[in-house]
Amino acid sequence: MAALNVSHHCTSTTASSRLTSSPHLSSTSFSLCSLSTAITLQFPNTTHFSVRNHSLQCFPVPSHIHFTKARGRARASATTMATGVQEVLPPALDSTSDPPSIFDGTTRLYISYVCPYAQRVWITRNCKGLQDKIKLVPIDLQNRPAWYKEKVYPANKVPSLEHNNEVKGESLDLIKYIDSNFEGPSLFPDDPAKTEFSEELLSYTDSFNKAVITSFKADEITEAGSAFDYIETALSKFDDGPFFLGQFSLVDIAYAPFIERFQPFLLEVKKYDITAGRPKLAAWIEEMSKNEAYKQTQRDPKELVEIYKKRFLAQL
């Protein structure tokens, strides 16, 4: 049996403000957010604006989103994050592709579209509304360009972030880095009890992944069942929302790409429904499905199942 390789990356696919508006948006409010204040105003139902750091920007704010003051930073408390950008995703770069103008001052997030570790950072970027601040650079990991290892990230894996003339890696480190170093709603709790629990849950992600993946290649589903029971219990700790910490946070982002893959794979291959007898997990999956920032990163479940079949079942 091949050794499990679980880490936070992928190596292969296995008041001089500018005012803008959009006629395509349907919410009826916009938020004025600065470092110390956050208010929501009602405007005609086709126009949405946000003031952030004295710059007026346009993005949709669904009516159920509200911003609160939290340690000088606006904090989003909502299922659907205010991203306001529906991207046209660039094609993946391969061995025939020229490199970007590396270290030219552009912040770049190097990902693979099918890598769950890279997806964590991609979701974080979207939830912060940073589509115009952090450029996506998808890499074809099956035919990766030589310049990526030579000029960008010697570890030759994704995700990586090019920022301030440095390149950083490891997905859990990067989601925290983006949350702390870029504008946008805070995705990490400031409640001490939630902060402590968030670190526990983030530390458990590798154990969770290993337990589930082990069950892919075993006759029994026992280890995966125990791992999902842990998730069900964790989702029961706080009652102020359907997420791990009650309100949406980096913890949900850390787990979402893997549960997105595990759920359809286990159902098809093992005939195992991860939500059976786990109402909290079922509710969490339903709420995550409403998150536009996350939905922009999702792949076709059939595609993900086929990738996992090739990666894991071929080793049996």
In SS3 terms, the chain reads as CCCCCCCCCECCCCCCCCCCCCCCCCCCEEEEECCCCEEEEECCCCCCCEEECCEEECCCCCCCCCEEEECCEEEECCCCCCCCCCCCCCCCECCCCCCCCCCCCCEEEEECCCCHHHHHHHHHHHHCCCCCCEEEEEECCCCCCHHHHHHHCCCCCECEEEECCEEEECHHHHHHHHHHHCCCCECCCCCHHHHHHHHHHHHHHHHHHHHHHHHHCCCCCHHHHHHHHHHHHHCCCCCCCCECEEECCHHHHHHHHHHHHHHHHHHHHCCCCCCCCCHHHHHHHHHHCCCHHHHCCCCCHHHHHHHHHHHHHHHC
- Tell me the per-residue pLDDT of 141-186, one tens digit each, with 9 for 90 and over: 999 999 999 999 999 999 999 999 999 999 999 999 999 999 999 9
- Tell me the per-residue pLDDT of 91-124, one tens digit each, with 9 for 90 and over: 999 999 999 999 999 999 999 999 999 999 999 9
Closest CA to 275 of 290, 288, 259: 259
Q: What's the pTM?
A: 0.77
Homologous superfamily of domain range 108-181: Glutaredoxin (3.40.30.10)
- Does residue 226 carry a pLDDT above 50? yes
Beta bridge partners of 134: 107
Instruction: Return the pLDDT at 10.
Output: 79
Question: 2-26: b or e for each residue (b if 16 or more CB lie within 10 Å)?
Answer: eeeeeebbbbeebeeeeeeeeeebe
The region of weakest confidence among 18-22, 135-139, 175-179, 247-251 is 18-22
Fold of 192-313: Glutathione S-transferase Yfyf (Class Pi); Chain A, domain 2 (1.20.1050)
| Structural domain boundaries in the chain | 108-181, 192-313
Q: What is the mean pLDDT of residues 209-214?
A: 96
